[in-house]
Amino acid sequence: MSKRDIRAVGIAGWGRTLGAAIISLIYFFPVLFIILTAFKTRQDALAWPMKFIFAPTLSNFVSVFFRTSVEGGDAEATGFGLYFFNSVFIGGTSVLLALIIGTAAAYGFSRFPLRGNDTYLFMILTTRMMPPIIAIIPIFVLFRIFGLSGTYVGIIALYTAFNLPFSVWMVKSFFDDLDRDIEDAARMDGSGEWRVFKKICLPQVYAGLAATFVFAVILTWNEFVFALMLTSPETRTVPAQIVRTIGGSMGVDWGLMSALETLFIIPVVLVTFALQNQLLRGVTFGTIRR
């Protein structure tokens, strides 16, 4: 390829970049709007035409956690510290449990297929496709009967089951992708099954397990219906509280709402960037691979 050709490709490429940049920014605009508004004062947030250049303030982010409920009073904690902790704690614990149980099952499905393997897999996928709104009706009643409503144990157990189908399908797809020859060679050399799993299969899917973990944490972090119905003020997660505040006095304070949403979505957006290569597999539960 001559020098001239390279330059021609380069210019055409940058032309596409420009077009794609404009379209991408328009597409991303709603998110950008929220993030910008989070840094605006009350006047700036409501200004029209909207301001893209303004003096940023962090006061909205402080108000998310501490603010005065009455004019001139002392700043009080709003409880969002606890709700963010709950989101992380409940999400992390339930996903870890789901991943341990799910990896075992995925390895079983992948390496030791049972009779009726597809039936089990179908059952597992169906529980995932099931609208949460249907599951919540009996679970709401049963949780109240067994006193699990509003407890950490209850919501963590529920989220573990909620994340399990996803973990099984994802991790199974990673195990399915492995080259079997290495394992078979190890078996021939006399490795036991546990050793084959621990020393050969598992290390090869560490990256996949990490991706599955992060993905499932996002799904749990975002989950709304179960959180709304089954958490108490002590165990409430962020999305369940955000929706409660929107109708109240906080709902009209745009900067505050945006700051809250920004804190809620920024981890997700950043993680999405990191997960780009696993995104297809993740959003289709491992049923489609690149």
Partner 1 sequence: MTTTAPFQTSDTTIAVTPAERSARGFLGWLMAPERRGALLITPAIVTLVVVNIFPLLWSYGLSFFSYNAKYITKPPRWNGLGNYIDLFTDPEVWGRFQNTAVIVVGSVFLQLVIGFLLALLFAKEFPLRRYLLMLVLAPMMLSLSAVGVFFRLFYEPTFGFIPRSVQAIHFWLTGVDEPVVILDTPVKATLAIVFADAWMWSPFVMLLVLAGLVSVPKYLYEAAEIDRASAWRRFSTITFPYIRSLLLLALLFRTIETFKIFDVPYVLTEGGPGTSTETVSVYLFRVAFNYFRTGSASALGYIVLFGVIVLTSLYLYAIQARGSAAAEPSD
Question: Please, which of residues 230-249 interact with partner 1 by CB under 8 A?
Answer: 239, 242-243, 246
Q: Is the peptide bond before 49 cis (omega within 30 degrees of 0)?
A: yes
Least distance (Å) from partner 1 to the CB of residue 33? Answer: 7
User: Of residues 160-189, which lie at the interface with partner 1 (CB under 8 A)?
Assistant: 160-161, 164-165, 168, 180, 184-185, 187-188
The stretch among 51-59, 70-78, 201-209, 221-229 that binds partner 1 (CB under 8 A) is 221-229
Judged by CB under 8 A, which of 6, 123, 153, 207 binds partner 1? 123
The stretch among 21-29, 53-61, 69-77, 205-213 that binds partner 1 (CB under 8 A) is 21-29
Least distance (Å) from partner 1 to the CB of residue 283? Answer: 6
User: Of residues 135-164, which lie at the interface with partner 1 (CB under 8 A)?
Assistant: 135-142, 144-145, 157-158, 160-161, 164
Least distance (Å) from partner 1 to the CB of residue 178? Answer: 13
Does 104 bind partner 1 (CB under 8 A)? Our answer is yes
Judged by CB under 8 A, which of 221, 230, 231, 236 binds partner 1? 221
Question: Residue count at the site for partner 1 (CB under 8 A)?
Answer: 99
Least distance (Å) from partner 1 to the CB of residue 200? Answer: 13
Does 111 bind partner 1 (CB under 8 A)? Our answer is yes
Distance from C-alpha of 179 to C-alpha of 25, rounded to nearest angstrom: 41
Judged by CB under 8 A, which of 38, 82, 105, 259 binds partner 1? 105
Does 266 bind partner 1 (CB under 8 A)? Our answer is no
Least distance (Å) from partner 1 to the CB of residue 146? Answer: 11
The stretch among 58-66, 78-86, 203-211, 280-288 that binds partner 1 (CB under 8 A) is 280-288
> Closest Cα to residue 75, out of 57, 63, 61, 85?
63
Q: Report how far apart the first and last C-alpha atoms of the chain are (Å, whole number).
A: 31
Judged by CB under 8 A, which of 134, 179, 203, 249 binds partner 1? 134
> Closest Cα to residue 164, out of 290, 288, 285?
285
What is the DSSP annotation of the chain?
A: --HHHHHHHHHHHHHHHHHHHHHHHHHHHHHHHHHHHHTS-HHHHH-SSPPSS-----HHHHHHHEE-SSTT---EE-SHHHHHHHHHHHHHHHHHHHHHHHHHHHHHHHHSPPTTHHHHHHHHHHHHHS-HHHHHHHHHHHHHHTT-TT-HHHHHHHHHHHHHHHHHHHHHHHHHHS-HHHHHHHHHTT--HHHIIIIIIHHHTHHHHHHHHHHHHHHHHH--HHHHHH--TTT--HHHHHHHHHTSGGGG-HHHHHHHHHHHHHHHHHHHHHTGGGHHHHHTTTSS--
Does 192 bind partner 1 (CB under 8 A)? Our answer is yes
User: Of residues 25-64, which lie at the interface with partner 1 (CB under 8 A)?
Assistant: 25, 27-28, 30-31, 33-34, 46, 48, 50
